[in-house]
Structure 1
């Protein structure tokens, strides 16, 4: 009962003075030169009749102003019940129970309706109009309860000067705070003047409307403290302009003046979800990024950020966002080493979210051989791919790509993580009837990727251009550079065109006539010590040109030997600092550019890089777990892009 009493205490205006009084008596002037008297008890109304007495200022006499005792009526008017059908239920509750036996919710409803409907207050026997007054004089009123022909005082009003009613000012300090896409409201309650407030809202300068059908009542706790938020409007929309005003409603059902208007526009402040499952794919000096992302309605696109190994500040590398329908980007880099990437999503309001940071190592290690003998066999709703297994000892796995209807420029990656088996099952809807083309690449533990495999198709198209040639090798002889490539298996193959390009120069075709029946060309015009890029284009008998092969870099030069010796490697667990300290000594005839530390556990098959390019022979591994055993290797990189790997060092973490 104590919690209920606290809950309805504001509604009944039961202040500290109620300890001496049984009822709170409220008085107010109206527009008709009358004084309205209204009284509330803890049970809202009394079962016993009451008399009302008036006293004039400086007069000791009390005058009874009602001709007959005032008591609750036994029937509510039909007109009132038609206005609000809830009065049918309220009437039954009141007539069927004693006032003191009504539950708290019923009292709450009776209290609200007695304020909104003066006729209902008269039904309850808690309201009276004193017409026999003189304007300008000061009065107060006393309510006496009659029980067994004896009267006892229920409550005494404050003094009031008889005057014309003037609407009061609205409650002070209306405050509106946006919280995401909602608006939270608070103000300074005035329990002596107002039972609650009405909140009005206008959208985009339209006509204002009342947000709630009943007054908003700010209830204090037992210590008299109010909550920070009195009301929340959670029906707001982005880019809409909203204006709010409040008015107080007094205990006689009258609204105050409106408060000053507060207007604001809802802005989109929620960033889109960041890209997920970012993959960096390194092919030569090209880094291809793949990512996934949830589809959100206001997504504008993606930005790519990069930092090189000697810089910690990320720089955006695309001036305009990548279209939201794309999930890949290729970055051409010049420097060998570690490059870190992250991808951001940006929405139409400019909110941006960033992915995790993913490294890409550019080096000159030979990639795995391209997968061979790719075969695609189709069945209902499924395509099974198989190919000849690669034999490289550091092979990490394979990536599988697919395109539709010979769209050879827009392949989609099918597996986010490399698969270890030389077999892949692609499940498709049964009703799909497109031509599907597949190709596979191999990836090793250093994240070097092979050339793409030959195409595998589920249904032979009527006509396609020759397959993309693949340069197998470029070797050196005294007279020039020998370019060799794998044969393109095409029934109507007419021959090949060989191209060479220098930096920032247009590629030139080296052969005048198509090369037929041989996959070899000797470039006798290559100049020594010049960096070249070669590519091959296959041509069929109809003049269709294949995609140009991947660029193959070569230079007519003499390779220098690498002589690097790891003399001493120390791996220590620092218990106080909870990290592993690694240091080493190197003897080298070559100029060393830096080092990269690799690590794996016994459960992992391959080493993975855990550092960037280090200028000094030392590294601290802080990302360790107790009870684990770690294996470390170090690679030294020379200024002419050679590398040497150390022996493996093992340490157990207690």
Structure 2
């Protein structure tokens, strides 16, 4: 088998010059009969069709295998050296007998291309939508598909009778000129008499019987590659069938080949009492007549000549439908009675809600109403097809909103996709649900859908990277009168956390006899779980490792009592949130612990001079301390805590405070900071008021 495939590829590609991949080509179809092989072909573009009609085709046949033996050298035979269409004069007798011959002759030789006659309503209308060459190309090939003998006359078909069973052949259809063969790809077919199969029967013939007419329908797409048209045969006794006059029924819509498509044909009946029989027979592209389909039979259906007309339809104070209709008295003998039928849509499926209504009755009451329904009165015929009135819309007054939706739940994934679901409401007139969303617990929720959601689930998207950690959802039920329920219980969905907390900041430190006291401003992020304090010794260089000395706490201060005099230390602190995300480290705080952690003497005196006239306070202090780098002055107004107010040079001994008010109490603290990192005792003074 592998050798056959390789040989076929070599034969198909042999004697070909370079042809572009997107060039035109010749498409070939074949049909195997018991004693012959039928070939049909055609160029697949209008331009190639025109060129090959002028130059013609060469038909080659290669015998590839005989029996089970693959021939080492395939036997080549040129069946036709140059095959062209008949000259114009020789088409005349065929044109007089077959319209398809006239279409092809006009396409090949006509100065212009126009179709007239019975099909002008269909063919001409479509032809005028395309250019003339496209018209010639399209309809000549279509006409050739209707009659294989005519296709052979046009040079587009060939019947090979010099064939034997057990042999397999490769046919090549090649443009007759070298120039055309370089621009148009050859076509090929590989077959033999052993591939003969009887033509299949048409499938799924069905009929809809109406008043003096019948609509036939059958599956066309299943056998679209076999049959391109069908004859319809009719009988009144089920034995002797005659073809319905006119051309075979076919479809030129390529979309008919996609999916389970059907062909339809409407035939008229002479009366509604005779039983008529129908069957169909397919015609292949090669003019072969297939077997008949199954036969179906039936009669026309009498149409009830009278139609009910609704004259009154109101809803009374009790919420009941009061309906009156008109129907000719002469028609009562033709009906069994009336039915009241209801549907949710005007063109929907109606169901019977009141039956056994007397033929003489012309009014009724009905109390099982929905919020909005369509009603018809149907006259049930004794024989044939029943008739219904035009529908009327009945809408009772409805001001009652649906119940509040329950069971709202959801989840936000890592991509920000929110999946919501809830329990369905039970109201029969429910239109759907409105989904509301808010990003804070205090803001007004807004709808995220334009129209009510009819399902009990909804997919929303949110940005996981913005700063609000929670998204809030509500649900509102809406009925068909647009009455809205109250909000459902709020659903709080916590978003996946991808944003680390804000870093804390060191605010103060103090080196004393009991160690290093550190203070910091905690991270302002709301979801912070703890702060972690790290320390490393500076003497060990860059290889020193950070050691955690405060594993996890929400405090804002820590006293490190494990420091050693004379060493340098670096401190940093991290914040950790509830999702385990860690902030960036606080910039390292580098400290030098003095050689001896001995508390220095404090400032000996701190005085305050109050100037009520100019509203200022002058602070004066006395100090004999040595190696003072700076003085830190802290200030407090009223009962407020101390805050660092000023830092002045170590030589300075006084300071003015001009930011004071009458009747306000002020407190001041001062301490000295030494060159070695230590600090003095604190001196404090209180001013009761100006």
TM-score band, normalised by the shorter chain?
A: 0.3 to 0.5
TM-score, structure 2 length as denominator? 0.37
TM-score, structure 1 length as denominator? 0.39
